[in-house]
């Protein structure tokens, strides 16, 4: 199961999710502490951030282990934004290892990452097409289709997760999405944690040992905006 993290608040660098914290995504790629499925996340990584120079987020993703990209530390130090998302991947058996199967998936202003797995025939019923055969790419396409049809981001996540979860009871469907001004995340079968200070950090597992991290219970939808954070049942 992969790991992901996002930030909404005062502008920060991507390094604040990846290289800076003791248990940031770089460390979690080879030594995650709370991962329930898989032991390393070496099948790729990606990150996305927002910049006033572009209407859409900037995205960088690769299908190699995050520790092998020697250009990343400098890039992560200058990628700076009030809304960030990053992910590391442990591919589910049978899924392709390629850039197009790697989070964050993107469409217009939206970025999305998935921790988990879902049956191929279920997820293919939720969207018309996806950029990769990977289950996560299909989930992202399903969310983006609903968002484009006008559903708020949280509602789009909730509908996709509850439908996929009903049709595949073994599915694990932790989704994390953002649009530059808000974050929405689901907890369905894997861990998710929150930390609030001058913004909100949402992460599969705590990025450091500071006090204040709270675990979100299973089957919940987390919505974070500048107005605050709310947690709803799914
Ligand atoms: N099923 C997804 C993939 O193969 C996510 C995997 C995961 O969460 N480990 O990329």
State whether the Cα torsion 178-179-184-187 is positive or negative: negative
Residue 135 CB–ligand 1 contact under 6 Å: yes
Taking the CA of residue 172 as reference, the ligand 1 atom at the shortest distance is 8
**Cβ 47 vs Cβ 113: under 8 Å:** no
Residue 125 confidence (pLDDT): 96
* 94: CATH: 3.60.20.10
Q: Whose CA is nearest to atom 1 of ligand 1?
A: 117
Cα distance between residue 55 and residue 31, in whole Å: 36
Secondary structure of residue 222 in the 3-state scheme = strand
**H helices of 38-194, where?**
72-78, 120-123, 135-148, 153-167
Residues 6+ apart with CB under 8 A from 190: 1, 36, 37, 115, 116, 172, 174, 204
Catalytic site residue from 2, 83, 134, 178: 2
Q: Is 178 a catalytic residue?
A: no
Each residue's pLDDT tens digit, 93-115: 999 999 999 999 999 999 999 99
* Numbers of helices and strands, H then E, in the chain: 5, 13
Predicted confidence at residue 146, as pLDDT, reads: 98
Residue 38, pLDDT score: 75
Q: Which of 4, 25, 61, 91 to mutate to test the pocket of ligand 1 (most atoms within 8 A of CB)?
A: 91
| Residue matched to tokens 């850039």 | 99
Pocket of ligand 1 contains residue 95 by CB under 6 Å: yes
pTM: predicted TM-score of the whole model, two decimal places? 0.97
pLDDT for position 37: 78
Q: How many CA atoms lie within 13 A of 144 on its CB side?
A: 21
Give DSSP secondary structure letters for 129-167.
--SSSSHHHHHHHHHHHHHHTT--HHHHHHHHHHHHHHH
84: Cβ contacts below 8 Å, ≥ 6 apart: 6, 7, 12, 14, 16, 17, 47, 48, 49
DSSP 3-state assignment of 221? strand
Range of the domain at 141: 3-233
Among protein residues, the one with the nearest Cα to ligand 1's atom 7 is 1
- The backbone torsions φ and ψ at residue 47, rounded to the nearest 5 degrees and listed phi first, read -155, 155
Number of domains in the chain: 1
pLDDT of residue 191: 95
pLDDT confidence of residue 1: 58
User: Residue 211 is encoded by which pair of tokens?
Assistant: 């006090």
Which atom of ligand 1 lies at the shortest distance from residue 95's CA? Answer: 4
Per-residue pLDDT of the chain (234 residues; tens, 9 = 90+): 599 999 999 999 999 999 999 999 999 999 989 877 778 999 999 999 999 999 999 999 999 999 999 999 999 999 999 999 999 999 999 999 999 999 999 999 999 999 999 999 999 999 999 999 999 999 999 999 999 999 999 999 999 999 999 999 999 999 999 999 999 999 999 999 999 988 999 999 999 999 999 999 999 999 999 999 999 999
């Amino acid at each position: 199961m992969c790991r992901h993290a996002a930030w909404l608040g005062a502008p920060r660098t991507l390094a604040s999710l990846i290289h800076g914290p003791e248990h940031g995504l770089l460390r979690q790629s080879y030594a995650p502490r709370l991962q329930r499925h898989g032991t390393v996340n070496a099948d790729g990584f990606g990150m996305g951030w927002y910049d006033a120079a572009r209407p859409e987020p900037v995205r960088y993703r690769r299908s190699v282990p995050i520790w092998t990209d020697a250009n990343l530390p400098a890039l992560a130090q200058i990628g700076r934004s009030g809304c960030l998302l990053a992910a590391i991947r442990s591919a589910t058996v049978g899924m392709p290892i390629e850039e197009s199967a790697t989070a964050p998936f993107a469409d217009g202003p939206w970025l999305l990452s998935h921790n988990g797995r879902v049956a191929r025939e279920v997820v293919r019923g939720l969207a018309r097409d996806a950029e990769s055969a990977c289950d996560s790419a299909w989930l992202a396409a399903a969310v983006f289709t609903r968002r484009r049809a006008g559903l708020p981001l949280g509602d789009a996540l909730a509908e996709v997760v509850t439908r996929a979860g009903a049709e595949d009871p073994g599915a694990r469907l932790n989704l994390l999405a953002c649009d530059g001004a808000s974050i929405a995340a689901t907890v369905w079968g894997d861990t998710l944690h929150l930390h609030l200070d001058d913004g909100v950090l949402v992460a599969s597992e705590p990025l450091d040992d500071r006090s204040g991290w709270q675990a979100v219970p299973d089957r919940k939808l987390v919505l974070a905006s500048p107005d605050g954070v709310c947690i709803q049942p799914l």
